[in-house]
Structure 1
Amino acid sequence: VKQAGINFGAPGDRRAENGTLWLDFPSVGGQSPDLEVMISNPKYERFRHHALKVKEPLPENGLNWVAASGIINPEKITIALKQREKQPQPDGIPIAGVEDDAEEDSHGEVKLHSSDLELGLDGGDPQVVALRFSNIPLSAIDELESATIQFTVDETGKSPSHLKIQAEDSANAKPFLETKQNLSARKRTQAAVEWSTPPWLKAGANGPEQTTPDLTPLLKEILQKQNWKPGNSICFLFTGTGTRIAKSYKGAKSGSARLILKTRTQGSPEKTSLAQTEEKISQNRYTIKLTFTEPDESIKPGQRRFRVRLQGETVLDSLDIIQEAGESMRCLVKEFSGIPVNDFIEIEFESIAGSETPPVISGIEVIHENGE
């Protein structure tokens, strides 16, 4: 998020002349952009007045219509500047379609639309199970820390099982076809990974017991191929003894296998990670403007005083809105520049000892200073 405003208690969204889109919170409906705002005190109260009732702002660039509403006693407000999906998808690269997981029986018959995947034996019959993952985002110079495949249990099984995992020896594996020996005829990598699979005791489980050992040796062999490039596909082939029954692809939410890749930054991981984090925070500096108004016309100076902390640092030690603004119902804006922000902005409000009424705030505007 580069520039946005949160207008507490407002009747809807509104764009200011400087380009800031002010979002109402709590949202009264409509197609507001998704910006996550959290208020720690579930018992906070709202107020709202007509904007014409709000007097000239201090300073002059304040917005009366922002100050016309607000919340009382929020305690702490957290704004997530890095937007997240409402329903995060599991980690890893998913199976993309029905042509990307398949079984081949001992007679060479290939089945794409299987209701599940029997790893090892299917009713005592040995078979090949193949998984194809597309759009692999790795180049030959990427340093893999680990590569695993995560399964989800379709049916339980606890008898001994031992699987051998290889990759197809191809720089860009093709989708599977229901033609004879389409899986077993594929050339395989010299490298292989052995997996003595633990018991699978609960349907729907997808934890460590359903995760393969590290498959990095297989991927390294593929990534070094002359025609490999990021975005290509990799196929893994499973054979072995015993049986473990995993969910197959039957749609994006079917619980089919996922390839989980973790890369290591070149050089010292610890030092590089720290340097990158410090650089990221130093680059992400924001100007933050807090809009206040005293909504209670009976309040006198000294009756509502509070401390404001921004990112854990005190920025207003004893704010008395009516004392600074000169009267109630006048917009008061406090601006803070160069505030380092990673993913969240946290603003805390604390009543000063002896204050008779809790803190209030009308709006928060955030503007990224780097202009990127």
Structure 2
Amino acid sequence: MTIRWRTSSATSSQVWYGTSPSNLNFTTTVNGSRTDHEVKVSGLPAGTTFYYAVGNTSSQLTAPDNEHYFKTSPAPGTAVPTSIWVLGDAGKANAAQRSVRDAFYAYNGGQHADLILALGDNAYSDGTDQEYQDAWFENMYEGTLINSVLWPCPGNHDIISANSQNETGPYYDIFTLPRNGEAGGAPSGTEAYYSFDYGNIHFVSLNSEDIDHGPNSPMLAWLEQDLAANTQLWVVAILHRVIYHSSILSDFRQNFVPVLEAGGVDLVMYGHQHSYRRSYLIDGHYGSGNGSFDPNTMAIDAGDGRPDGDGAYQKPGTLTPHAGTVYMVSGSAGPVSSLPSPITFMPYEAGDPEGLGSVHISVFGGQMDVKFINYEMQMLDHFTINKQIAIGSPPTVSVTAPANGTNYSSPQAVALAANASDNGGSVTQVEFFVNNSSVGVDNQAPYSINFTPPADGTYNITAVATDNDDNTTTSQVVQFTVGPVTTCVRINAGSDDAEERPTGSVNFTSGDLELVIDGDPDGQTVGLRFNDLNIPQGANIASAHLQFTVDENTNDNPCTLTISGQASDNAAAFGTQNFSISSLPRANATASWTPSDWLAVGDAGFAQQSPNIGPIIQEIVNRPGFSASSSIALIIEGIGRRTAEAYEGGASVAPELCIEWSMAPIAFDCPNIPANIGTPCDDGDNTTLNDMVGANCICAGTPTACTGIGDADGDGV
């Protein structure tokens, strides 16, 4: 494991590490003075978590804590739950990039990503050192990079200040990449392209920029050698330039794609285009566009690849050449643009604005799940690839409890339950996972276990069903939260941020929002309508605020704003008739805001954040007719002016509403268990069926005719 950091003064380099943050009993030291520190810690066991601190031979610069840790790669070939975050063209260092980051963190519940893949254009516009600091290490991903390993490839903006022939420039100065096969794979002899293994996944990072792509190129010869030696079940390749729909990479399609597909590659990801799109499961397409694609011979599976749609893509259970590949463009983790012309075999796509986002990949055993999560925390696309040696039909499984999105006010026992069945066979067990860690197994229906969350946070549940032929199926993720939850949503339509002039006319199309003077000294009334909050009726609102982004730094003072809320169970879209906003019925609670001056265009900090409007939101969600699908409308009036971005000025900088909330403690029928009467359970007796909590708050099942004999053959009956 290589650990890197930077200091303002030149010092020696030292890393303290150990298996507990309270016992960092090992050290590795590099003598000599430097400001860019690089320490390689070697001889560590596979798949082990180590906590660490960095500093010099005189003192530690970071205090040991639970966040400074690294986990060594699992042993090659080991099937372990693996979480991968993919960021394409993420080097903008802007509010849009942060919105993608925050949406992924919220969607993923702040859970650890084992790997981060960066698809090039990691630092705009010239790949300078300062641009890397701004885009990755300062106020961006630093909280994640202290415990997740980053694996990049270069893009065209990176190599403006770097040279791959002699491996110089900020890209090569900042990243330490395997040139000698030290992370698995064949030695490439260069950091310009490389490979590595993580468990049963083989990753290949290619250089699409300033390296020869010809048929006799060293990179192609290395790739053939690397894939020929690979024994891992999964193969994932990354590069920057778009393979399809680009004349620049015609030689890459003709020379490299056949080698990748012969090597059994499952997924190829690249950026460059600032949008999202991906293909069917295809093979053998080495032309550039629609005309050369033959669906009869090149589409291995022309379905959507979704378990809840046409079905997951199926591939053989061993590494197999030409069994199908999904090609994906994901270059919108910082910028987003309109979609280029359509490609028939890449029908799943998203451009400006909804296509601003990143990709999450989870791999466990023979299943790979891929999701595109946009800046509004929406999953716009997903697909699954299954690799199983099928004997009979695989089982089906779904998590039935708790319901997705359930919130518990504090840590408590939670009943996890699943339905599982097998057509033509039998389910032998259901194993439950929380945040990719196994928390229990049940081998008898109804399948359930109790799990007590250790602390407040977000928990992702999956259930893995195994049948009598050892086929396995993993359920879709169900998420629940413990403790306060923060929900942030932005205005997501031009009609939902509106300005009502003093004359009563309503404008829906302005690129900015004047709060509240816009020429007329009487000021205007601004309406903001927020959708997709997913907050239950009666939730406890701890706090709430509005967040704006500066459009103009012209400040008219004094400026005092009053924020109120529409008294509605479900706020409808604003009307076009005169005075349609100011005439709305109001909740009783209001909030007064005297904002400080807004100094710089693009700022979206504390100065642009309203005071707490929690009482307004509380009054609305307490309404009997409010539901999780309800919309909330807020109204701003007052004097003076601050000018904010509107939705038309950019979806990623539109006004945002953030609400911290939790549910009241649940009252269980049987608080000592805790559970409700009728809840499925396991009484520990294999000779009973249909176990559940009875009226006496005791878990018991229905005795069978075999009571007293026991489960001699261990089949659960």
TM range (shorter): 0.5 to 0.7
- The answer on whether the counterparts of 1:128 and 1:239 sit within 8 Å (CA) in structure 2 is yes
Task: Please give the alpha-carbon distance, in whole angstroms, between the structure 1 residues aligned to 2:539 and 2:568.
Answer: 18
Report the residue type matching 1:127 in the other structure.
Answer: Q
In structure 1, what is the equivalent of residue 267 of structure 2? 32
Residue 105 of structure 1 pairs with residue 501 of structure 2: yes
Task: Please give the alpha-carbon distance, in whole angstroms, between the structure 2 residues aligned to 1:220 and 1:85.
Answer: 33
Taking a change above 3 Å as real, the CA distance of residues 156 and 208 of structure 1, as seen in their structure-2 partners, is same
Task: Please give the alpha-carbon distance, in whole angstroms, between the structure 1 residues aligned to 2:200 and 2:645.
Answer: 45
Task: Please give the alpha-carbon distance, in whole angstroms, between the structure 2 residues aligned to 1:265 and 1:226.
Answer: 16
- The answer on whether the counterparts of 2:541 and 2:659 sit within 8 Å (CA) in structure 1 is yes
Residue 218 of structure 1 pairs with residue 431 of structure 2: no
Task: Please give the alpha-carbon distance, in whole angstroms, between the structure 2 residues aligned to 1:222 and 1:243.
Answer: 28
Residue 96 of structure 1 pairs with residue 492 of structure 2: yes
What is the CA-CA distance between 1:17 and the residue it aligns to?
11
What is the CA-CA distance between 1:64 and the residue it aligns to?
12
Q: How does 1:120-199 map to 2 (within 5 A)?
A: 120-123=516-519, 124-158=521-555, 159-199=557-597
Task: Please give the alpha-carbon distance, in whole angstroms, between the structure 1 residues aligned to 2:320 and 2:514.
Answer: 66
What is the CA-CA distance between 1:201 and the residue it aligns to?
0.8
Q: Give aligned-pair identity as a percent.
A: 28
- The answer on whether the counterparts of 2:529 and 2:573 sit within 8 Å (CA) in structure 1 is yes
Task: Please give the alpha-carbon distance, in whole angstroms, between the structure 2 residues aligned to 1:17 and 1:237.
Answer: 61
What is the CA-CA distance between 1:253 and the residue it aligns to?
3.2
- The answer on whether the counterparts of 1:154 and 1:204 sit within 8 Å (CA) in structure 2 is yes
- The SS at the match of 2:527 is strand
Taking a change above 3 Å as real, the CA distance of residues 156 and 7 of structure 1, as seen in their structure-2 partners, is same
CA deviation string 1:8-61 (max 9, x = no partner): 5565999x999x5333478977872669xxxxxxxxxxxxxxxxxxxxxxxxxx
In structure 2, what is the equivalent of residue 7 of structure 1? 202
Task: Please give the alpha-carbon distance, in whole angstroms, between the structure 1 residues aligned to 2:529 and 2:545.
Answer: 13
RMSD, matched Cα: 3.9
User: Which structure has more RCO (C-alpha within 8 Å, separation ≥ 6)?
Assistant: 1
In structure 2, what is the equivalent of residue 115 of structure 1? 511
What is the CA-CA distance between 1:229 and the residue it aligns to?
0.6
- The SS at the match of 1:242 is strand
Task: Please give the alpha-carbon distance, in whole angstroms, between the structure 2 residues aligned to 1:64 and 1:106.
Answer: 69
Task: Please give the alpha-carbon distance, in whole angstroms, between the structure 1 residues aligned to 2:530 and 2:524.
Answer: 20
- The answer on whether the counterparts of 1:169 and 1:187 sit within 8 Å (CA) in structure 2 is yes
Rg larger in structure: 1
Taking a change above 3 Å as real, the CA distance of residues 25 and 119 of structure 1, as seen in their structure-2 partners, is closer
Task: Please give the alpha-carbon distance, in whole angstroms, between the structure 1 residues aligned to 2:523 and 2:636.
Answer: 11
Task: Please give the alpha-carbon distance, in whole angstroms, between the structure 2 residues aligned to 1:81 and 1:254.
Answer: 26
- The answer on whether the counterparts of 1:13 and 1:23 sit within 8 Å (CA) in structure 2 is no
What is the CA-CA distance between 1:129 and the residue it aligns to?
0.3
What is the CA-CA distance between 1:231 and the residue it aligns to?
1.2
Report the residue type matching 1:146 in the other structure.
Answer: S
Task: Please give the alpha-carbon distance, in whole angstroms, between the structure 2 residues aligned to 1:13 and 1:110.
Answer: 62
Task: Please give the alpha-carbon distance, in whole angstroms, between the structure 2 residues aligned to 1:93 and 1:130.
Answer: 15
Report the residue type matching 2:631 in the other structure.
Answer: S
- The answer on whether the counterparts of 1:13 and 1:21 sit within 8 Å (CA) in structure 2 is no
Taking a change above 3 Å as real, the CA distance of residues 149 and 33 of structure 1, as seen in their structure-2 partners, is farther
What is the CA-CA distance between 1:136 and the residue it aligns to?
1.6
In structure 2, what is the equivalent of residue 316 of structure 1? none
In structure 2, what is the equivalent of residue 21 of structure 1? 234
Taking a change above 3 Å as real, the CA distance of residues 81 and 34 of structure 1, as seen in their structure-2 partners, is farther
Task: Please give the alpha-carbon distance, in whole angstroms, between the structure 1 residues aligned to 2:374 and 2:583.
Answer: 40
Aligned residues: 227
Report the residue type matching 1:232 in the other structure.
Answer: S
In structure 1, what is the equivalent of residue 643 of structure 2? 245
- The SS at the match of 1:96 is coil
Residue 234 of structure 1 pairs with residue 632 of structure 2: yes
In structure 1, what is the equivalent of residue 695 of structure 2? none
TM-score (norm 1): 0.52
Taking a change above 3 Å as real, the CA distance of residues 33 and 230 of structure 1, as seen in their structure-2 partners, is farther
Q: How does 1:266-305 map to 2 (within 5 A)?
A: none
- The answer on whether the counterparts of 1:132 and 1:175 sit within 8 Å (CA) in structure 2 is yes
What is the CA-CA distance between 1:155 and the residue it aligns to?
0.9
Task: Please give the alpha-carbon distance, in whole angstroms, between the structure 2 residues aligned to 1:115 and 1:8.
Answer: 44
- The answer on whether the counterparts of 1:99 and 1:177 sit within 8 Å (CA) in structure 2 is no
- The answer on whether the counterparts of 1:112 and 1:176 sit within 8 Å (CA) in structure 2 is no
- The SS at the match of 2:660 is strand
- The SS at the match of 1:190 is strand
In structure 1, what is the equivalent of residue 209 of structure 2? none
Most deviating of 245-254 and 141-150:
245-254
CA deviation string 1:73-132 (max 9, x = no partner): xxxxxx985988698569821111111010111111111112311112222132100000
- The answer on whether the counterparts of 1:13 and 1:32 sit within 8 Å (CA) in structure 2 is no
In structure 1, what is the equivalent of residue 324 of structure 2? none
TM-score (norm 2): 0.28
Residue 259 of structure 1 pairs with residue 472 of structure 2: no
CA deviation string 1:310-329 (max 9, x = no partner): xxxxxxxxxxxxxxxxxxxx
Report the residue type matching 2:511 in the other structure.
Answer: S
Task: Please give the alpha-carbon distance, in whole angstroms, between the structure 2 residues aligned to 1:126 and 1:251.
Answer: 21
What is the CA-CA distance between 1:264 and the residue it aligns to?
3.9
- The answer on whether the counterparts of 2:589 and 2:619 sit within 8 Å (CA) in structure 1 is yes
What is the CA-CA distance between 1:251 and the residue it aligns to?
6.5
Taking a change above 3 Å as real, the CA distance of residues 265 and 170 of structure 1, as seen in their structure-2 partners, is closer
Task: Please give the alpha-carbon distance, in whole angstroms, between the structure 1 residues aligned to 2:568 and 2:655.
Answer: 20
- The answer on whether the counterparts of 2:375 and 2:652 sit within 8 Å (CA) in structure 1 is no
In structure 1, what is the equivalent of residue 245 of structure 2? none
What is the CA-CA distance between 1:188 and the residue it aligns to?
0.7
Task: Please give the alpha-carbon distance, in whole angstroms, between the structure 2 residues aligned to 1:17 and 1:169.
Answer: 62
Taking a change above 3 Å as real, the CA distance of residues 114 and 251 of structure 1, as seen in their structure-2 partners, is closer
What is the CA-CA distance between 1:63 and the residue it aligns to?
8.1
CA deviation string 1:150-204 (max 9, x = no partner): 1111111342211000000001111112211110111011100111111111111
